[in-house]
Every structure is written in C-alpha cells, then in structure tokens.
Structure 1
Amino acid sequence: MKLARFLMSREGFISVFCYTVTAVFSFLSFAPLNLPFFVWFAPFGLFIIEKRNRGEWKKLIYHGFGFAVVFYLVSFHWVYHMTTVFGGFDWYLAVPIFIGSAILLNFKFPVYLLLFSYLAKKINRFFPLIASFAILFAEFFTPQVFPWYFGNVVAENQILAQNAEYTSAYGLSAFLFFVSYFLFYLRSPKKIIRLINTFLPIHQKITKQVYFGMSVLFFVLLVFFGNGYYLFQKWVNVKPVAEREVLVVQPNAPLEFRDGRNPAEEIRNLMTRIDRMVEKELKDNPVDLVVLPESGVPFFTTHDSEVTRSIRIYWHQFESLMALISLRHGTNLFFNELDADIPGVKESARIIRNDIRTYNSSVLMNPNGERTNSYQKVFLLIFGEYMPFEWMYALSGQTGQFAPGTKLDLIPYFERRKTPSNVTKDLHWEDTFGLSPDSVREHYKTNQIEEKTAGAFLPLICYEVIISEFVRKFQGDPDFIVNVTNDKWYGNSVESYQHHTLGRLRAIEFRKWIVRSTNSGTSVFTDHLGRNIDNEFTPIESTATIRKKVSVIPGEMTFYRLYGNLLSYLFMGIVGIFFLVYVKRNS
C-alpha cells in the first residue's frame, strides 16, 4: 500500500520518470538499435534523483533499486524468458526471480547514488569528477552475473571505442559520466546564456572556476577523442601477416525435448543438417577452419574413455561425423561437446559416479580427422551451469552440474589440405550408422596430410567473452579469438546482440579479430577495430552459415593485456586522495 501511494504521488511519478529516462536512453544507445546520441543523456535520471534526495541515504537506496528494476525491465527483459524457458519456472515464480535478480545484480545503482551524494554533500559545489569517480567505483566493486557497463554503450561510437585498448569499458564509463554531468549542469537555458556571456565581453573577467572547468572539459574531450582517432588510424592501416578462411555453421540445435518431440529423431535430423550445410559450403570452396557453436550437437562427446562410456555421453556416430567432415574437406573443425573425467584417477581404476567431473568443452579436430586439443570452460555461469548450493539443483532440472576447467591455453590449428579429395566416394552422416570412427579414418586414409601447425586461436565459451579481466589471463599471442555460444535460451530477443556487443571490446583490447559462432543466431565476424564485418549478422532462431577471411594481425601486447585495469585504479586512487585533501581543507 505504501509503495502504491508513492507511485501515485507527484514524487513517485517524477522518480519513475527518472528511472525510465536512464533505462530507455541506455537501451536506445545499445545494441541492436545503436543510437549513441542518447547515451550522453542517460545518466540524467540518476543525477536528478540524487539532487532531489541528497543526503537522504535510505531514500537513495530505495531509488537505486528502483533504477535496477526498471533498467532490467527495459534492457534485460530477456532474463524473464530465460527463467521460464531455461529454468522451467512458472510465471508466478519467474516474476519474483526476475525482480530479485534485478536487485541483487544491479547494486551499482544504489552504490553510485550513495557515493555520489556523499561526495557532493561534502564538496558542496559543481565537481564533474565526482560523477566519474562514483560510477567507476560502483562498476568495479558491485557483483554482476552478466557484467555490463555504461562504457559498453559509449563504445557504440567507433572512435571512442578505441580507448578500450587502455581502459576497457571502465574508462569509457568514467568519461560518459564526466561529460554527461557537464551537460546536466548546463540543462538550464539561463546557465548556457550566462556561460556564453562570460566569454563574449572582452572587458569582463573570466572567473577562475569557469576557466578551470571549461579547460578540464576540453582537455578530457581532446584526450578521449584524440586518442581514439590516433588509435583508429594506427590500427586501420596495420597489414595482416596472414588471412584464414573461416566458416561458421549455425545449426539451430534443439535445447531440450519437454514438448514431446522424439529426441532420437531430432538428433538424427540435426546431424544430417550439419553434414549437408558444411558440404554445401565447402564442396568447391575449402576453408581453413569450420566452427560449430556451443551445444551445436548437445548431450554428447567425442572423447572415448571409460568415464564417458560409463555415464553414456560418448557416441561413436558423433565422433565419426566430426572426423569425416574434417577429412572430407581437409579442414580444421572446432566444435563444442560434453566431456568428463575423474581427476587424479587412472582409466583402469574403478569408476565411482560421484567422483566424476563434467565439463563444457570445445575441441579441435585436425584435417586428418584426429581429436587434438580441447578447452574446458573455466568461468561457469551461475544458475545455468552450476548452483551455489547443492539443494538448489532441485529447483531447476535444466541447470547443469559442470566443473570449471583449469587451463587457459590457446588452441593450435593446422594447415588445411591443399589438394582435392582422393577418395572415389565421400561419406555422409547416414554412413556412420555402420562405420566406427576408425573406419572413417581408414576410408579417408589417402586424404591424410602431414600435420603442420598454422597458428593458434583463443577459445572462449558463451559469456566468458564479456569478462575482460578473465580473457586477458590467457597466455600467448593468438591469431584471432573464437567465441562459441548458445543464446537460444533467450528466444527472439535482443540478448544475442547485447551479448555480442558486450564481448566486442575484447577485439579492441587484444587487437584481434573475433569469430562469434552461435547455435541459433546471431553469428558475426568482428575485426580488431571492433567493427562488425559487412555489418552481417545471421538471423535469430534459424539455420545459417557465414564465412569470412579473418585477418591475422601482427602480435603486439596491448596496454590492457599487459596492465589490465591499472589506469582505472590509478584514477580512483588519485581522485580519492584529492577529494580527501579538498574536504579536509574546506571543512
């Protein structure tokens, strides 16, 4: 009742309006709409609420959660779809889960309002650095499952996005709030006229405060736009050392079979579909690498071991198909699968089911049809791939019980076969019913070539790509980045575009191309400047293929790869000390 009365009051209307301004303007600026003009006004809602409630800490906390819920409703409404489809929850459970997640995972809003208000009250004058410091602190030190930052929205501007090479999205967030706070201060026409009149009359003395404030603003604009332009020109003219032809196959594999479909029939149709899609693309136009997405063939593994056989995830026909595709076309094939082992236990030891660890794994099949290197997903998705407590698994039958991988190694790939196939009859999916993987390899024995390493790429599974601090932990210099993901749980929503946009900055931080392969859309290639090649995205909830020549950019350890968030920490430290000294002097 108290909440209802507040919402019906004038104060409630203004508050909801402010929540909506921040949420809607951010959404308009973000993928897939990409209207970056609105981002400069998105923080206005936060500024208005803080100013109207300065020093009223309890109210600011409530308003922070109000921003969180409305922001989730507008920008991340697909979380509700995931809760009902992936989690299998009815609406009366999905709604409180959605609201709870909005509050728990958006503490940045109340933290920002509290810190901003505290500093503004202490300093008691217009100080744009307050806005930058507060948002940087809030984004650094509040928990998130799907890490998103206001800087990701700023990065829709191609020039400003280049600054991510030094600061990732954090620095762009600080820049946004600095500029936006200036615009907010000048929202009144009277203030703009007063500012213009300050500079126009020659006889009038410009105050130190105005001179200093405008000088700082122009300096910050010059640094970010100037540095962005310099980096863009630097990297746009870099000549690649090689090019790799890459094919992405989007098979639109089924998620589950709760609707009564026949699982065996659906999987057979899927395998046939993958086989035909690859053959159609590669029969006359070979490539260096074929990439299948996360869950492209769900539920199975090509790793033949006592453990995988004991839990019935090894399927010889799956391995046979992957081998015949790579052998038939003489190419590298990168695909996703389940995997399992018992750490520290030899194959011949007695298998105890409770000791088995299951992994979300991606594997490379070389041009000779041999299963070579694999990567087990390290950064698992809470509530999707694991639950924080054992008893919570009973809440959702769809949640996996995966173990995190332990290695952060690049995946070597090999030179493709340059000559046409020597066999008289090519094999297809239907032939695997009567052929073992070894039989497939024997059939294509004359197609086998000398194994020569051509390079290595950085493998990422699903939302690992959006966590900059995690990705920079990989060792070595990759030719490019491959991100395989399954966004089908989110339906025909904006999630897939947002997922890609959040991860797009890794291309700039590493100065490497990104190959994004999704199960049901949208797949895309992104270059080392963060540009989506030909702006070509595969459609959502459909089968599709997309192929491009990926440029291998010469190896160079960028600032962010070397030093991570050093500049952001330095900024917070220096500005924090400055605030302390300023407050002490003027108190």
Structure 2
Amino acid sequence: MKLARFLISREGFISVICYTVTAVFSFLSFSPINLPFFIWVAPFGLFVIEKRNRGQWKKLIYHGFGFAILFYLVSFHWIYHMTTVFGGFEWYLAVPIFMGSAILLNFKFPVYLLLFSFLATRVRRFFPLIASFAILFAEFFTPQVFPWYFGNVVAENQILAQNAEYLSAYGLSAFLFFVSYFLFYLRKPKQVFGLVRSFLPKHKTITQKVLIGSVSFVLVLVAFFGNGYYLFQKWENVKPIAERDILIIQPNAPLEFRDGRNPAEEIRNLMTRIDRMVETELKDNPADLVVLPESGVPFFTTHDSEVTRAIRIYWHQFESLMAIISLRHGTNLFYNELDADIPADKQSSRIIRNDIRTYNSSVLMNANGERRNSYQKVFLLIFGEYMPFEWMYALSGQTGQFAAGTKLDLIPYYERRKTQTTVKKDLHWEDTFSMSPSSVREHYKGNQIEVKKIGSFLPLICYEVIISEFVRKFQGDPDFIVNVTNDKWYGNSVESYQHHTLGRLRSIEFRKWMVRSTNSGTSVFTDHLGRNIDNEFTPIESTATIRKKVSVIPGEMTFYRLYGNLLSYLFMGIVGIVFLIYVKRNP
C-alpha cells in the first residue's frame, strides 16, 4: 500500500519520470537503435533524484533499486526470456528471478546515489568530478551477471571509443558523467545566460569557481577527443602483416525439442544444412578458417574417449562431418562441442557419473581433418550453465551442470591446402551414415598436407567477451579474436546487438580484429578500431553466412593489456585523496 501511495503522489510521479529518463535514454543510445545524443542526458534522472533526496540515505537506497528495476525492464527485458527458455523456469518462477536479479545485480545505482550524496554533503563543490568518481566506483565494485557500463554506449562515438585502449569502458563512463553533470548544471536558460555573461568584457571579473569549472570542462573534452583522434589516426594507418579469409556459418540450430519436434530429424536437417552452406561458399573459393558458433551442433562432441562414450555424447557422425568439411576444402574448422573428463584424483577402473565434469568447449580441426587444440569455457552463465545453489537444479530441467575450464591458451591454426583435391568423389553428410571418421580420413588421404602453423587466435565463448579483466589474462599475441555464441535463447530481441556492443571494445583494447559467430544472429566482423566491417550484420533467427578478409595487425602490447585498469584506480585514488584533504581544510 505504501508503494501504491508513493507512486500516485507528486514525488512518486517525478521519481518514475527520472527512472524513465535514465532507462529509456540509455536504451535509445544503445545498439541497435544507436541515437548517441541521448546518452549525454541519460544520467539526468540520477542527478535529479540525488539532488532532491540528498542526505536521505534510506530514500536513496530505495530510489537506486527503482532505477535498477526500470532499467532492467527497458534495456534488459530479454533476461526474462532467457530465464524461461534457457533456464526452463515457469513464469511464476521467472518473474521473481528477473526482479531479484535486477535488484541484486544492479547495486551500481544505489551505490552511485549514496556515494554521490555522501561526497556532495561534505565536499559541497566539484560536482562533475564527484559524479565521475561515484560512477567509476559504483561500476568497479558492484556485482553484475552481465557486466554493462555506460561507457560502452559512449563508445558508439568512434573517436571517443579509441580511449578504451587505455581506460576500457570504465574510463568512458567516468568521462560521460563528468560531461553530463556540466550539461545538467546548464539545464536552465538562466544558468546558461549567467555563464555567458560572466565572460563578457562589461561584466564583473570571472569568479574562480566559474573559471575553474569552465577550464576543467574544456581540458577534459580536449583530452578525450584529442587522444581519441590521435589513436584513431595512428591505428588506421597501421599496415597489416597478413590477411586471413574467414567464413562464418550461422546454422540456426535448434535449442531444444519441448515443442514435439523429432530430435533425430532436426539434427539430420541441421547437419545437412551446415554441409551445404559450407560447400556453397567454399567449393570454388577456399578460405583459411571456417567458424561455427556456440551450439552450432548441440548436444554432442567429437572427442572420442571412454568418458564421452560412457555418457553418450560422442557421436561418430559429428566427427565424420567435421573431418569431411576440413578435408574436402583443405581448411581450418573451428566449432563448438561438449566435452567431458574425470579429475585425476578420482580416476579409477570404473567410471562414476558423479565424478564426470562436462565442459562447454570449442575445438579446431586442421586441413588434414585432425582434431587439435580446444578451449573450455571459463566463465559460465548463471541459470543456463550452472545454478548458484544445488537445490535450484530441481526447478529447471533445462539448466546444464557445466564445469569451468582452467586454461587460457590461444588456439593455433594452420596453413590451408592450396592444391586441388585429388579425390574423384567428394564426401557429404549422407556418407557419414556408412563411413567412420577414420574412413573419411583414409578417403582423403591424397589431400594430406604438411602441418604448418601460421598463427593463433584468442577464443572466447558467449559472454566471456564482455569481461575485459578476464580477456586480458590470455597470454601471447593473437592474430585476431574469435567469439562464438548462441544468442538464440533470447529470441528476436535486441540482446544480440547489445551483447556485441558490450564486447566490441575488446577489439580496441587488443587492437585486433574480432570474428563474432552466432548460432541465429547476429554475426559480424569488427576491426581493430572497433568498426563493424561494412556495417554488415547477419539477420536474427535465420541461417546465414558472412565472409571477410581479416587483417592481422602487428603485435603490440597495448596499455590496457599491460596495465589493465591502472589509470582508473589512480583516478579514484587521487580524487579520493583530494576530496579528503579539501574536507579537512574546509570543515
């Protein structure tokens, strides 16, 4: 009842308007709508609420969660879809899960309001700097399942985005709130006229406050736009040391079969589709690498072991088709699969199911049809690949129980076959019914070439790409980044575009191209400047192919790869000390 009375009151109406301004304007700035002007005024809702409730800590907490819930409803409404489809929860469980995640995983809003208000009541000036400091602190030190930052939206500006090489999305968030608070201060015509008049010759001498504020604002703008322009010019003129022809296959594989479809028939159709899509693209025009997405062929593995046979995930026809594709076209093939093993300390003569660990894995097969290096996903997706509590698995039959990988190794890839095939008859999916993987390799024995490594790439599965601190832990110098994902769980929503927007900055942080391969859209190539090549995205919920020549940018350890968030930590430390000194001198 208290909530209802609040919502129909004048204060409640103004509060909801503020929540809506921040949520809707952020959403309009976000991909795929991309109206970047709105992001500069999106924080106004937060500024108004803080100013109206300054020092009222309990109210600020409530308002913070109000922002969190409405922001989720507007920008991340697809999480509900994920909970019902990916997690398999009924709506009466999905709704509280959605609301709970909106609150528990968006502490950034109440933390921001509390910290801003605390500093405002004690420092009582430097408000743009306080706003910048508070959002940086809130984004750093609050938990999130899908790490998103206001800076990711700022990066839609191509020049400003280049600053991510030093600051990642965090620094761009701080820049946004610094600039936005200046605009918020000038929201009334009287304040704008007052600022202009203070600089006119006939007016009284400019006050120190106006001078410091104006100069600071100009210096920050010059620093970010100037550095962004310099970095843009620098990296645009870098000549690649090689080019790799890469083909993405988007097969639109099924997720599950609760709608009554015949699983065997659907999988056969999928394998036929993948086979034909690859042949159509590569029959007369070979490529260096073919990339299949996460769950491009669901439920199975090509890793033939005692464990995978025991739990019936190894499928010889899957391995045969992967070998056919790589051998037929003499190319590297990177695909996703399940994998399984047993910890060394639990191995015995008898396989016990409870000891088996299952992985979300991606593996490379070379031009000789040989299964080479694989990568097991490290960061697992809550409600899809694991549950936070054991008892929750009983609520959802759809959620997997995956183990996290432990290695952060690059995936080597090899020289493709450059000679014509020597076989008289090429094999296809239909041949896998009668031919084993070894028979397939024997059939293409004449196509065998010398295995020669020509480079390596950085593999990322699903939302690992949006975690900057994690991605920089990979060692070595990759030629490019490959992100395979399955966004089909989220339906025909904006999630796939948002997912890419959040991960796109890894291209700038590494100064490497990114190959994004999705099961049902949207797939895209992004260069080392964060530009989507030809602005070409594959359509959602459809089969498609997309092919580009990926430039291999000369290896260079960028500032962010070397030092991570050092500059952001220095900013928070220095500003915190300055605030402390100022408060002590001006009690």
TM-score, normalised to structure 2, is 0.99
| 1:508-587 to 2 correspondences below 5 Å | 508-587=508-587
State how far apart, in whole Å, the 2-side matches of 1:92 and 1:48 are: 35
Shift in alpha-carbon separation, 1:3–1:123, aligned structure 2, 3 A: same
Distance in structure 2 (CA, Å) of the matches to 1:306 and 1:366: 24
The separation in 1 between residues aligned to 2:312 and 2:210, in whole angstroms, is 72
Instruction: Kindly state the Cα deviation for residue 91 of structure 1 after the two structures are TM-superposed.
Output: 2.2
Q: Is the contact between residue 305 and residue 347 of structure 1 (CA under 8 Å) also seen in structure 2? A: no
**Distance in 2 between the 1:225 and 1:529 partners?**
15
Aligned to 2:315: 315
Write the letter of the residue equivalent to 1:447. N
Structure 2: segments with no counterpart, 5+ residues: none
Deviation (angstroms), 1:130: 0.2
1:85, distance to aligned residue in structure 2 (A): 1.4
Distance in structure 2 (CA, Å) of the matches to 1:156 and 1:8: 37
CA contact (8 A) 1:306 1:347 kept: no
Residue number in structure 1 paired with 2:244: 244
Q: In terms of mean alpha carbon deviation, does 340-349 or 318-327 score higher?
A: 340-349
Decide whether the 8 Å contact of 1:323 with 1:441 is kept in 2.
Answer: yes
1:152-171 alignment, distance < 5 Å: 152-171=152-171
Deviation, 1:461, is 0.2
Secondary structure, aligned partner of 1:318: helix
The amino acid across from 2:268 in the alignment is R
State the partner residue of 2:20: 20
Report Cα offsets for 1:11-42 as digits up to 9, x if no partner.
11100000000001100111001111110000
CA offset at residue 204 of structure 1? 2.6
Q: 2:200, 2:370 → 1: CA distance?
A: 75
Distance 1:494 1:3 in 2: 31
**1:206-250: CA deviations, max 9, x gaps?**
111111111111110010000000000000000000000000000
C-alpha displacement of 1:349: 3.1
Deviations 1:511-559 (A, max 9, x none): 0000000000000000000000000000000000000000000000000
Distance 1:425 1:266, change over 3 A: same
Matches within 5 A, 1:59-138: 59-138=59-138
Match of 1:68, as an amino acid? A
Counterpart of 1:325 in structure 2 is 325
Note if 1:281 corresponds to 2:284: no
Match of 1:174 in 2: 174
Per the alignment, residue 425 of structure 1 pairs with 425
Distance in 2, Cα, partners of 1:501 & 1:494? 11
CA contact under 8 A between 2:61 and 2:114: conserved in structure 1? Answer: yes
In the TM superposition, residue 88 of structure 1 has moved relative to its aligned partner by 2.2
For 2:382 and 2:95, how far apart are their aligned partners in 1?
A: 19
Shift of 1:202: 4.8
| Deviation at residue 125 of structure 1 after TM alignment | 3.0
The 8 Å contact of residues 320 and 435 in structure 1, kept in 2 or not, is answered as yes
Q: Which amino acid aligns with 2:578?
A: F
> What is the SS of the residue equivalent to 1:146?
coil
Which structure 2 residues correspond to residues 176-215 of structure 1 after superposition, within 5 A?
A: 176-202=176-202, 204-215=204-215
AA at the equivalent of 1:154: V
* Cross-structure match for 1:448: 448
| Matching residue's letter, 2:498 | Q
1:392 aligns to what?
392
Q: Is residue 412 of structure 1 aligned with residue 412 of structure 2?
A: yes
Q: Deviations over 1:141-195 (max 9, x none)?
A: 0000000000001000000000000000000000000000000011111111011
Pairwise CA RMSD: 1.0
How much has 1:345 moved relative to structure 2? Answer: 6.0
Contact 2:84–2:91, Cα closer than 8 Å, also in 1 = yes
Structure 1 residue 344 and structure 2 residue 351: aligned? no
- Give the equivalent residue in structure 2 for 1:218: 218
Amino acid at match of 1:519: N
- Please give the alpha-carbon distance, in whole angstroms, between the structure 1 residues aligned to 2:181 and 2:250: 44
How many residue pairs get matched? 587
Q: For residue 527 of structure 1, what is the amino acid of its counterpart? A: D
Identity of aligned residues (%): 87
* Inter-partner Cα distance in structure 1 for 2:333 and 2:242: 19
Q: 1:323 to 1:345 in 2, by over 3 A?
A: farther
| Aligned equivalent of 1:291 | 291
> Mind listing any 5+ residue stretches in structure 1 that lack a counterpart?
none
- Residue 495 in structure 1 maps to residue 483 in structure 2: no
Q: CA deviation at 1:126?
A: 4.7
Q: Distance in 1 between matches of 2:250 and 2:152?
A: 26
Residue 391 of structure 1: CA displacement? Answer: 1.2
Distance 1:86 1:209 in 2: 54
For 2:23 and 2:140, how far apart are their aligned partners in 1?
Answer: 20
